Amino acid sequence: MNAETELKFQVAPRKLASILRSGSRGRDLSEQALVSSYYDTSKHKLKRNGLTLRVRKVEGRYVQTVKANGSSGSLTRGEWEHEVSGPKPDLKQARDTALDGVATEKLSHKLKPVFQTNVHRTAEVRRVRGSQIELAVDRGRIGAGRRSRPIAELELELKSGHVADLFRLARDIERKTEAELDLRSKSERGYRLLTREGEGAQHAEPIRLKPELSPQDAFRVIARSTLRHITTNADPVRNMDPEGVHQMRVGLRRLRAAISLFDDILPRASTGRIKAELKWLTDELAPAREIDVFLKESIQPITEQDVPKRGSRAIRKTFSEQRMAAFRHARDAVDSGPLPPTFDRCGRVDRNRTPPHR
């Protein structure tokens, strides 16, 4: 088994090429056409068990990959790869993988392709201090039935070395390209496209903490889960979805609460800045949430009562205009907000294993 540790970013298509040019310095780039089919049962048994089964065609070969989700919010997943003879899964090659427990003969007859990705990948390996990190730019589409979405993303995978260097490279690229953190895997995006989920506001997922986790590991799991809650609501906020605004604010408050709870094991120099960034964005979103609630809970009931229509319409019009302005302000705040830097600073606890200085 390999442990896959990676970060993904959504990048404007026009800026994808500049990412590789900016740091290549003559290094070799590899280019591949990757066609990947993801398999599951009609009831999505693999997904329900936290598993992904993929067969990818690359350079005339077929490679089967099994992936197991890590703990809630984790950047690291178990990964098992085996070459297979054709485009369909071979469960005999899934022995001694996370799929082994469910890979029965009955399952093999129920598996079917549920969605597919077709991407052109340009990649290189960069050295950051003592670490090797693969930087891959993917362009293409993900399709499920008649529905499809474009793919324009950057993937950073730690091949060897330290997680700290992964964050360091991510921060540098984010500054230059305005790349936006996206904690969803391609398989997760495929399932959401398949089931038409994920287009609106996203609620918090359960956080599962094991008793044997250290305080540092527990914070890392909680922080990444809350950051996932925050970042997956960025598009709903841009689309002026009231519930998206509410859920992002919930995620921001959850992360601030986690930082306060784990204050004793966090770097003191980072804590204040992180909380200030989170509070800033929470405050920027507040008017949109407050005016939306006021309209629904106070103004709407008035307009439904036996009151002069002209007056109630004027009140509603005034606050509706204020609501629209507040949602535009929230959208602009998200586009200029501090989410990737905050993610990097939260990630620094990965390498901060020493007791805090008091």
Q: Is 149 helix (H, G, I), strand (E, B) or coil?
A: strand
> Whole-angstrom Cα distance, residue 319 to residue 228?
32
Q: Which token pair is 341?
A: 């830097």
Q: What's the confidence (pLDDT) of residue 25? A: 56
Let me know the angle formed at the C-alpha of 203 by 248 and 256, rounded to the nearest 5 degrees.
45
Which uninterrupted H or E stretch holds 303? helix 300-303
Q: Is 77 helix (H, G, I), strand (E, B) or coil?
A: strand
Point out which residues pair with 356 in neighbouring strands: none
Q: pLDDT, tens digit, for every residue of 79-135?
A: 899 999 999 999 999 888 999 888 888 999 999 999 999 999 999 999 999 899 999
Is residue 167 within 8 Å of 190, Cβ to Cβ?
no
Q: What's the confidence (pLDDT) of residue 208? A: 86
Domains defined for the chain, CATH in brackets: 1-199 (2.40.320.10), 203-358 (1.20.120)
Is residue 2 within 8 Å of 80, Cβ to Cβ?
yes
The candidate with the shortest Cα–Cα distance to 278, out of 222, 356, 329, 334, is 334
Q: pLDDT, tens digit, for every residue of 127-144?
A: 999 899 999 999 999 999
The candidate with the shortest Cα–Cα distance to 161, out of 134, 185, 123, 121, is 134
> Whole-angstrom Cα distance, residue 239 to residue 248?
13
The candidate with the shortest Cα–Cα distance to 33, out of 65, 15, 6, 60, is 60
More confident residue, 156 or 358: 156
Is residue 94 within 8 Å of 103, Cβ to Cβ?
yes
Q: pLDDT, tens digit, for every residue of 11-56?
A: 888 777 777 765 555 567 889 999 999 999 999 999 999 899 999 9
The candidate with the shortest Cα–Cα distance to 11, out of 166, 182, 128, is 182
Q: pLDDT, tens digit, for every residue of 194-204?
A: 987 766 899 99
Could you tell me the sign of the dihedral formed by the alpha carbons of 87, 93, 99, 105, in that order? positive
For the chain, what is the largest distance between any 2 Cα atoms, rounded to a whole number of angstroms?
Answer: 75
The stretch 145-152 carries a mean pLDDT of 91
Residue 81 Rama label (left phi>0; alpha psi -120 to 50; beta):
beta
Q: Which token pair is 50?
A: 């936290």
> Whole-angstrom Cα distance, residue 329 to residue 309?
30
Task: Quickly list DSSP for 246-265.
Answer: HHHHHHHHHHHHHHHHTGGG
Question: Taking the model in full, what pTM does it have?
Answer: 0.77
- Give helix then strand counts, H and E, for the chain: 12, 9
φ and ψ at residue 244, rounded to 5 degrees = -65, -40
Is residue 166 within 8 Å of 25, Cβ to Cβ?
no
